[in-house]
Amino acid sequence: MGRRSDLRRRRAGLEDEWSRWVPRLKVAGTLPIGGGSLRQEVTESWARSLTSVDPGRDSASVADGGAVHRLWSGSPLRGPVDGLADELRSVADDAGFVTAVTDESGTILWTYGGQAMRRRAEWVNFAPGGRWDEEAMGTNAVSLALRTGRPSTVFSAEHLVTALHGWACYCAPIHGPDGHVLGVLDLSTTWDRSHPLAISTVRGLASAIEAELRTELPLRPPEDRLPQLRLNCLGTEKAVRDGVPLLLRPRQLEILTLLALEPDGYTPDRLREALYGDRAVTASTFKAEISHLRRALGGGIATRRYTLTTPVSCDAVDVLRALESGDTETALRLYRGPLLARSEAPGIEEWRTHLEVAVREAVLASTRPEHALRYGGRAPYDAEVHEHALRLFGPADARRAIAAGRLTTALRD
């Protein structure tokens, strides 16, 4: 009874803090100073989350229409999780938890729980396909673990969304052999079943999955592997092959990006023009850049017509696919900045403009005000976007103040 009473008092205190600070953050974005029982990482997450998440929402949004079978079947986490499935189910059954595994974006790929707990979890879409990153579902243990790369606990009203105030969640990130976060392991339960040993349990289980990854990934047959090449070129510039970062010069990143965006490839003359425009560049210089990239990829580039012959996943391509399917939510989540912002290659500049215009037009066509509010945070001088947000927000919505402030700044400058 003592522990239950302590949990009840803690929950009541957090509810008071939530009621005190969240309305203020919605209007002014100010953080509490000396905020009682609140942790700084929680209040900072609240402030970030309120630009895209309504605290009154009742469940998580769905990624890719909820169809995650393909993602899970190809995930490097599936083998290790299947190997520990009995232990994960035992923990969930014995302690009354729901256990879940997400990918690196916070999308749930796998869950297990008893019938009652699973039903509770499904009410808030804590189920395969549910998106639990910070932009989608606000402050929660999954989003904090993904952001910090460290184990995280979120109890009751530390969650931004009120529908989650009855929950206590424990998460640990799962790192691949190269140190990259591949996803998160989560144990969740109702607040009254919260237990201090849960965080050490989830940390230990995540470590066991990581140990399996270190032995499995090098031995996995090529036909069962994820795309060998991952390219990030929106707001960041990074290429990773088989878990190992590639040391590529800017020109080689430009070539790789262009080939990823145009799977049908380029003739040598067209690729050269896309890279250099009218600049006088020798054929040997151009071919040397191609050769260096080909060596870095272990082959991977066809010769007569330059195309990628190795599987590649690319954030810019993912944004375009989301837009083509009408999924503005996913496109905004993945669009983290301009395409190779420092590049002056004509082909990259053309694709950069195409992406920027496509994302902006999708935002202006959307009837969801949070889309305009989120995009507006990256486009402070785009008055049309801020006006669109104001038209969509109801008169009593406190988030109008954010859009109005941005519009005033845009018009002033």
pLDDT tier at 219, thresholds 50, 70, 90: very low
Inter-helix orientation angle 383-392/346-365, to 10°: 20
Q: Would you say 133 and 105 are in contact if contact means Cβ atoms under 8 Å apart?
A: yes
Calculate mean pLDDT across residues 203-207.
90
Identify the residue whose tokens are 């941005």: 406
The SS3 assignment for 389 reads helix
Q: Which carries the bigger pLDDT value, residue 121 or residue 26?
A: 121
Residues 274 and 266 sit within 8 Å (Cβ to Cβ): yes
Highest mean pLDDT out of 98-112, 321-335, 395-409: 98-112
Q: Bigger pLDDT: 227 or 23?
A: 23
**Residue pLDDT, tens place only, 139-162:** 999 999 998 889 999 999 999 999
What is the C-alpha separation between 372 and 389, in angstroms, rounded? 5
Q: Give the model's confidence band at 378: pLDDT under 50 very low, under 70 low, under 90 confident, else very high.
A: confident
Q: What is the pLDDT of residue 31?
A: 55
Judged against a pLDDT cut of 50, whether residue 226 lies above it is answered with: no
Measured distance CA(178)–CA(240) in Å, rounded: 10
% the chain with pLDDT above 70: 92
Which band of pLDDT confidence, cut at 50, 70 and 90, is reported for residue 67? low
Q: What's the Cα-to-Cα distance from 130 to each of 14, 96, 363, rounded to whole Å?
A: 26, 21, 22
- Per-residue pLDDT tens over the stretch 250-259: 999 999 999 9
Alpha-carbon gap, residue 383 to 364, rounded angstroms: 12
- Helix (H) or strand (E) holding 375, with range, is helix 369-378
Three state DSSP letters for 52-120: CCCCCCCCCCECHHHCCHHHHHHCCCHHHHHHCHHHHHHHHHHHCCEEEEEECCCEEEEEEECHHHHHH
Distance of alpha carbon 214 from alpha carbon 176, whole angstroms? 7
Q: Are 142 and 106 in contact (CB under 8 A)?
A: yes
* pLDDT surpassing 70 at residue 248: yes
